[in-house]
Amino acid sequence: MPEGHSVHRIARQFDRNIVGRVVAASSPQGRFAEGAEMIDGRAATAVRAVGKQMFLEFDDDLWLRVHLGMYGAWDFAGEVVADPTIASANGRMGQTNQRGTVIDDPVMDAAGENSLTSIGAPRRTRVHVRMSEQTTGLAGDEADWPPPVVGQVRLRLLTDVTCADLRGPTACALQTPDEVSATIAKLGPDPLVDDVARGEEEFTAVVRRKPTAIGLLLMDQSVVSGIGNVYRAELLFRARQNPHTPGREVPDDVVRGIWRDWVRLLSIGVESGQMMTMDDLSPAQWRAAMARRDDRHWVYHRAGLPCRVCGTSIVVEEAAGRKLYWCPKCQA
């Protein structure tokens, strides 16, 4: 489910709440029992996010690699030092659910946008808790610690005060430092990891020599990290670029423009927790778009609807097993 921005936000969450602490690890579901046993009792020492992958380091060069795939998620519970930009009004944080106590949680407006720009002294706020039928209303009390396991939890990481549950990941594996390096080496540049100017050169050089359609190249994690189906469609529309044009035929300045736009959209996504691809909307327009739900992109998920610019019907087609949305006139 998450594209690159979510993974970076989750990594922040780990940095604030897990890194620097000893964790108790378990695999309630059982499918990562051996790995959990290896982690159990070690301190988390660092976290890295590259593209859609997250790497969590533990004592003695033990790394955990997690890729959430399409429906994976981390649920945080207990005492959570929230990212100040996290939208928590409804208990959601990107792909991460939160329950329990949040520290330094900013006030959010109804649209889940951060309405505070400065961060005051840490304070405690109870976040909305999704109560199951069996719970007794004691959420946040000692009676709830550790939180009951709900559903299939591949991996549970528990500190004294914070619980992180991993469910439904595509990948969850232990790696050596060399294996981590090898995994990362296969990934294209990530604007939040690599030097942005160098990333632009790498991305441009690769795209400009490939016969593959630009619409496919943007989804190729070895070409550029972190872009998924939503950002692909939106980046191409914003560039007014036909998705079928071979990479090598896309003008140099257009390729560079797409990279620079990705740098911008990723940054906005990480800071806001929203996939804001219509960032020229005013706050009021944005709130209205959010309220209408599903009405916040230029072309993504808008098949058959009129293009916001020219009114032409947005087209959807299947490309490499994924839906590709675009405007045949604006992106001719």
Q: Which residues bind DNA (CB under 7 A)?
A: 1-3, 6, 29, 31, 51-52, 67, 69-71, 73, 151-152, 154, 167-168, 170-171, 219, 221, 228-230, 275, 320-323
The least CB distance from residue 199 to DNA, in Å, is 17
Specify whether the CB–CB gap between 62 and 38 falls below 8 A.
yes
Pick the closer one to DNA by CB: 60 or 133: 133
What tokens does 223 get?
């070409």
* 73 or 235: CB nearest DNA: 73
In the complex, least distance from residue 276 CB atom to DNA, rounded to whole angstroms: 12
Conformational region of residue 20, where left means phi above 0, alpha means psi within -120 to 50, and beta covers everything else: left
Output the smallest distance, CB 59 to DNA, in A.
27
**CA 283 to each of CA 79, 91, 112, 200, 327: distance values in angstroms, whole numbers, following the listed order:** 31, 22, 12, 30, 25
DSSP string, 157-206: EE-SSEEEEEES-SEEEEE-HHHHHHHHHTS---TTTS-HHHHHHHHHHH
Q: DSSP letters of 14-69?
A: HHHHTTTSB-EEE-TTSTTHHHHHHHTTPBEEEEEEETTEEEEEETTTEEEEEE-T
C-beta of 257: minimal distance to DNA in Å? Answer: 21
Question: In angstroms, what is the minimal distance from the CB of 228 to DNA?
Answer: 2
